[in-house]
Amino acid sequence: MDDRVRQELAAWLKFYRDLGIEDFYRRAPGSASPVSPRAEVQPPAAQAAAAQASAETTRRVGAPISSVGPPARSLSLFEAPPPPRREHETLEQVLEDLGDCQRCRLAAGRKTIVFGQGNPHAALVFVGEAPGADEDEQGLPFVGRAGQLLNRLIQFIGMKREEVYICNIVKCRPPENRTPAPDEIETCAPFLFRQIEAIQPRLVCCLGAPAMKTLLGIKEGITRVRGQFFDYGSTKAFVAYHPAYILRNPREEKILREDFETIREFLKSAG
């Protein structure tokens, strides 16, 4: 046995002893190997190369793959709504971030951004669909005929408009007062979620199907779920008809008054 073979054999023996293997045997020629080729132990040189490659990968990536959590699930529009809590964010900060918004095509046809109005610490938040012509002119939500009816209903439950907060799922008037398109809602809704999170009300009242779908992800018709409460983050949400629907269907005003009576009882019991 020459010196080169002796040195290689000594290296192998040391390698196996370092692994805790002390006993060796010679397998009979032709016998099956008890270890699959993929599980064979690599010689020291190969192991060192593999360790160096692994270290280089870790250095480039910054952390082993096993320590990286799964990617966040991408939520489609109208699924579980509220975004992660933003600690101590105020309505003023949300408005500042909104700025002179040009994020969707509604910006091209608006006159004014209608952010919202009311008590920044309101126990009750009303969420409608979108600004109309009067709202677009004045920059305030619910100031047209539907807003006048909403004011009467707020008084009906013993509150003033200044005590609640009123906003919409989009901040700009859609052309011809059409229903906001899904991509327009998807662009604007995060600001609505942040408004609600900043206010932290006891109850959010969804006025109409678009608000219900945006905030709660409910795909059923509003007639099936109106008058019901739902969990919304750490607070509750309530579904009611939009006042504009009542203006078109005056006979349904009794139902809306019943819903507002339910709202009054909830706020009274919530303290």
Order of strands across the sheet that contains 117-118: 117-118, 165-168, 124-128, 203-207, 235-240, 229-232
Give the residue among 131, 97, 134 at the shortest CA–CA distance from 113: 131
Give the residue among 168, 165, 160 at the shortest CA–CA distance from 115: 168
Burial environment of residue 10 by CB neighbours within 10 A (0 to 12, 13 to 18, 19 or more): exposed
Contact 242, 146 (CB under 8 A): yes
Instruction: State residue 123 phi and psi, 5-degree precision.
Output: -80, -20
Predicted confidence at residue 158, as pLDDT, reads 97
CATH class of 91-270: alpha beta
Predicted confidence at residue 70, as pLDDT, reads 30
- Angle of helix 145-156 versus helix 253-270 axis, rounded to 10: 50
For 151, residues 6+ apart whose C-beta sits below 8 A from its C-beta are: 142, 161
Query: Tell me: the pLDDT tens digits for 127-167?
Result: 999 999 999 999 999 999 999 999 999 999 999 999 999 99
Q: Which helix (H) or strand (E) holds 57?
A: helix 44-61
Predicted confidence at residue 61, as pLDDT, reads 32
CA dihedral 189, 194, 195, 197 (to 10 degrees): 130
Q: Which helix (H) or strand (E) holds 236?
A: strand 235-240
Predicted confidence at residue 4, as pLDDT, reads 66
Predicted confidence at residue 11, as pLDDT, reads 63
Predicted confidence at residue 270, as pLDDT, reads 77
Predicted confidence at residue 121, as pLDDT, reads 97
Could you tell me the pTM of the whole model? Answer: 0.70
Q: Which amino acid is it at 99?
A: G
What ranges do the domains of the chain cover?
91-270
Predicted confidence at residue 149, as pLDDT, reads 97
Predicted confidence at residue 32, as pLDDT, reads 43
Pairing of strands 117-118, 165-168: antiparallel
- Regions in the chain scoring below 50 on pLDDT: 16, 19, 25, 27-80
DSSP string over 23-91: ----PPTTPPPSS-GGGPPPPHHHHHHHHHHHHHHHHHHSS-GGGSPPPPPPPPTTSS-PPPP-TT--H
Contact 109, 136 (CB under 8 A): no
Beta bridge partners of 207: 240
